[in-house]
């Protein structure tokens, strides 16, 4: 099945565009802390500002003191020391579900690929030169998948999509075509009860890999290496004694190697960074600080 992005021009879409075009405010210096703010969580990671350091796209309730409050989408820019800046507002009323950040359309800027919660439709928000996002484009309707990840999983230079089915037991891939459409889906992995995924070139071979948790073995982090045959290799243990959540892969210190960022279960400790060695191995974790 081929998917072609098409531009929406309805009134609802125009409202979404206005929200998406909000220009980030300048972050002020502030005290540092060892974790995210209350009700703030990481929705996706990607190099928003193009400086070679992976940034955090986070969501947070617009009014944490109110039980039911709309969520806003912000970016925390990464620094080469592994820390992150204060949240800079990108889009208000971010009422979406699973989100991935990557250069989907090949223009050198980070885009947002997301599934709307109410409709399960999959959309693309293209990144703009000024740091805003353009009009949302419908990729496909009825996208009943979660944990969406984007990367070049087959090494052909085009953006592919990997997502998990609703049973959380199988992963599917949609491969990118030269005209910007996607083919698929094709089942690429099954047999684990996946509870979280993230994408980056972990082993340094130039092909995007996937890291994943298995709910049956919650203290192990797995690597499913991408390969040029268009699939994912058999899962292998990447890290043992890994009882963490909100696990993300990316180059969080700008050294050209994939790192892993995670938080202890139930936020029982500080956010930690495992610096990558570029070959699929990692250093001992170090504490990460973020600006308030």
Whole-number pLDDT of residue 198 = 96
pTM greater than 0.75: yes
Mark residue 206 as left, alpha or beta (left: phi above 0; alpha: psi -120 to 50; beta: remaining).
Answer: left
Whole-number pLDDT of residue 275 = 98
Separation of alpha carbons 223 and 188, rounded Å? 13
Separation of alpha carbons 45 and 247, rounded Å? 10
pLDDT in tens, 128-178: 999 999 999 999 888 999 999 999 999 999 999 999 998 888 999 999 987
- Spatial contact of 258 and 277, defined as CB atoms under 8 Å apart: no
Whole-number pLDDT of residue 58 = 96
Separation of alpha carbons 244 and 262, rounded Å? 6
pLDDT in tens, 59-94: 999 887 887 778 999 999 999 999 999 999 999 999
Whole-number pLDDT of residue 180 = 72
pLDDT in tens, 17-30: 334 444 444 444 56
- Spatial contact of 90 and 24, defined as CB atoms under 8 Å apart: yes
Nearest to 204 by CA among 115, 106, 277: 277
Whole-number pLDDT of residue 29 = 58
* Cα 16–chain centre separation: 21
Whole-number pLDDT of residue 17 = 38
Separation of alpha carbons 197 and 280, rounded Å? 16
Separation of alpha carbons 113 and 127, rounded Å? 11
pLDDT in tens, 211-264: 998 767 778 999 999 999 888 999 999 999 898 889 999 999 999 999 999 998
Separation of alpha carbons 214 and 222, rounded Å? 8
Average pLDDT, the chain: 87
Separation of alpha carbons 14 and 24, rounded Å? 19
Of the pLDDT bands very low, low, confident and very high (cuts 50, 70, 90), residue 2 is very low
Query: Does position 11 have pLDDT exceeding 70, yes or no?
Result: no
Separation of alpha carbons 71 and 93, rounded Å? 5
């Amino acid at each position: 099945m081929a998917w072609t992005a098409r531009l929406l021009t309805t009134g609802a879409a125009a409202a979404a565009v206005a929200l998406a075009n909000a220009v980030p405010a300048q972050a002020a210096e502030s005290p540092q802390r060892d974790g995210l703010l209350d009700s703030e969580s990481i929705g996706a990671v990607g190099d928003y500002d193009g400086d070679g350091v992976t940034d955090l796209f986070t969501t947070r309730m617009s009014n944490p003191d109110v039980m039911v409050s709309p969520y806003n989408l912000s970016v925390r820019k990464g620094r080469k020391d592994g820390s992150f800046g204060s949240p800079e507002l990108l889009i208000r009323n971010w009422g979406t579900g699973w989100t991935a950040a990557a250069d989907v359309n090949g223009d050198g800027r980070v885009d947002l690929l997301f599934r709307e919660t109410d409709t399960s439709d999959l959309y693309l928000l293209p990144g703009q030169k000024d740091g805003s996002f353009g009009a949302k484009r419908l990729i496909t309707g009825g996208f009943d998948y979660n944990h969406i990840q984007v990367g070049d999983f087959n090494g052909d230079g085009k953006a592919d999509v990997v997502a998990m089915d609703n049973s959380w037991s199988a992963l599917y891939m949609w491969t990118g075509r030269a005209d910007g459409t996607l083919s698929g889906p094709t089942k690429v992995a099954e047999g684990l009860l996946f509870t979280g995924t993230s994408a980056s070139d972990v082993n340094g071979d130039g092909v995007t890999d996937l890291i994943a948790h298995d709910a049956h073995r919650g203290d192990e982090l797995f690597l499913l290496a991408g390969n040029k045959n268009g699939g994912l290799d058999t899962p292998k243990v990447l890290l043992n004694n890994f009882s963490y959540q909100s696990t993300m892969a990316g180059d969080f210190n700008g050294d050209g190697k994939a790192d892993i960022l995670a938080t202890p279960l139930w936020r029982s400790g500080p956010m930690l960074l495992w610096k990558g060695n570029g070959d699929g191995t990692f250093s001992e974790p170090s504490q990460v600080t973020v600006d308030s």
